[in-house]
Amino acid sequence: MMTSSDDLAYIDENLHIIKERIAEAKAKYRSPGEDVRIMAVTKTVAPEAVNHAVELGLDLLGENRVQEYLSKAELYDRSAEVQFIGHLQTNKVKYIINSVSMIQSVDSLRLGQEISRLAVKNGRTMDILCEVNIGGEESKSGIAPEGLRELIAQLSELEGLEIRGLMTIPPPGDSDFFLGRMKELYDSISAEYPRMDTLSMGMTHDYAEAVRYGSTLVRIGTGLFGARNYTR
């Protein structure tokens, strides 16, 4: 994996733009004091570039693939927090249980049970988000909105888990509609679960809109590191 200093300068510029657009959307649509966290999504990105983003002040990394994460984790600047955001097979939970602070992609009871089992075994509590398939797309993971309440009720019975909120990847197209629906769903469910404080939505193409619709955590890959082509 090679990274030239041009790539790194590009990250500074991109981060500047992202922060400006988030600040604009917050000023326009959000209450003062509401925080929006920026996650740097690292898939296919060289560790040097990831560490450069950490040096620039990004303190949260998002990992999609267990294998890729394991191959890069040792090279990462340890000061950043790491959360898992990709589709997770139950048999791989064991590889990440002690090295991430949150699993954002919980979409089944079975996965929740395995995280719970390993969290208890390791003497820790794992923060989780439920991933919602807000567009009802067959190709995507995530629980359908209709099944969400039941899943959360079941997960909330499990030891070693703290349900902190919801995550989504809305379908392409009508962003406003789906982001708005997610916000409604989050508001109604988080009213029943006071420990919820995280609505993870917004990627490179829709993060400013997501901030408008109440996102507390935007997950940005290409908008920060450039197109996923220069490292692999």
Ligand X SMILES: *Cc1c(COP(=O)(O)O)cnc(C)c1O
Q: Which is nearer to ligand X, 42 or 160 (CB)?
A: 42
Interface with ligand X in residues 8-67 (CB under 6 A): 41, 43, 64
Query: In DSSP terms, which residues pair with 128 in a beta bridge?
Result: 103, 163
* Comparison of 156 and 222: residue with beta carbon closer to ligand X: 222
Site membership for ligand X, residue 231 (CB under 6 A): no
Would you say 18 or 118 has its CB closer to ligand X? 18
CA–CA gap between residue 25 and residue 38 (Å, rounded): 14
Residue 195 in contact with residue 176, Cβ under 8 Å? no
Q: Encoding tokens for residue 34? A: 């509401």
Please tell me the count of residues contacting ligand X according to CB under 6 A. Answer: 13
Structural tokens at position 195: 């420990």
Considering only the stretches 28-36, 52-60, 158-166, 219-227, report the one whose residues sit in contact with ligand X under the rule CB under 6 A: 219-227
Using CB under 6 A as the binding rule, whether residue 216 contacts ligand X is answered as no
Q: List Cα–Cα distances, 229 to 8, 43, 44, in angstroms.
A: 15, 11, 8
Q: Would you report the helix, strand and coil content of the chain in percent, each value rounded to 5?
A: 45, 20, 40
Say whether residue 222 binds ligand X (CB under 6 A): yes
Contact 140, 174 (CB under 8 A): no
- Report the distance separating Cα 212 and Cα 134, nearest Å: 17
Site string for ligand X, 81-100 (x = CB under 6 A): ----xx--------------
- The distance of closest approach from Cβ of residue 194 to ligand X in the complex, given in angstroms and rounded to an integer, is 26
Per-residue binding letters, 141-170, with ligand X (x by CB under 6 A): ----------------------------x-
Instruction: For the CB of residue 202, give the shortest distance to ligand X in the complex, in Å.
Output: 8
**Complex with ligand X: residue 163 or 207, whichever CB lies closer:** 207
Answer yes or no: are the C-beta atoms of 185 and 143 closer than 8 Å. no
Q: Please, what is the minimum distance in Å from the beta carbon of residue 135 to ligand X?
A: 14
Separation CA 196–CA 193 (nearest Å): 6
Cβ 228 vs Cβ 46: under 8 Å: no
Q: Which residues contribute to the site for ligand X (CB under 6 A)? A: 41, 43, 64, 85-86, 169, 203-204, 219-223
